Amino acid sequence: MERLTFTDEELERINTDCPVKNDYHIDRFCDNVCDEFQNNCPFMKMAQKLKAYEDKQEQGLLIELPCKVGDTFWEVSWSNDSFYPRVAHSLQHCCYVKDRLGTWCFLTEAEAKEALASIGGLNEL
């Protein structure tokens, strides 16, 4: 995914030669917002938080999980051609689903049925 913020190295490189630094409209907007919030600019806080998330993602510390704790997912038992609903009770379960998504675990009952049907399982369908 493309970064929306600059890395620390890029910031050091362009800090003195920012292409929008002297843009009248941007300067005026930022000055008004920062003055109104007494140098506690909400846009700067959002940019800093986004940068922290992007840095973590690049370092492999941030992952996107296919479900959240409390969601139902469908697990397929290939040995007896069946599937059953399970509830993700912890982040560990969500990681389990992520690692097996599309092979053993599915987010909907229809996806699980389709997977079994594709290999000739669930003959009663």
pLDDT of residue 111: 93
Tell me if residue 85 falls in helix, strand or coil.
Answer: strand
Q: Could you tell me the pLDDT band of residue 106, with boundaries at 50, 70 and 90?
A: very high
28 pLDDT exceeds 70? no
Domain ranges of the chain: 8-58, 72-118
Mean pLDDT in residue range 14-25: 51
Contacts 24+ apart (CB under 8 A), 67-72: 67/94, 67/97, 67/107, 68/94, 69/93, 69/94, 71/107
Cβ contacts of residue 34 below 8 Å, gap of 6+? 40, 41, 44
**Region label for 20, one of left (φ > 0), alpha (ψ between -120 and 50) or beta (otherwise):** alpha
Mean pLDDT in residue range 68-95: 91
**Region label for 5, one of left (φ > 0), alpha (ψ between -120 and 50) or beta (otherwise):** beta
Q: What is the pLDDT of residues 48-76, one digit of tens each?
A: 888 888 889 889 998 889 999 999 999 99
Please give the mean pLDDT across all residues of the chain. Answer: 78
Prediction pTM value: 0.59
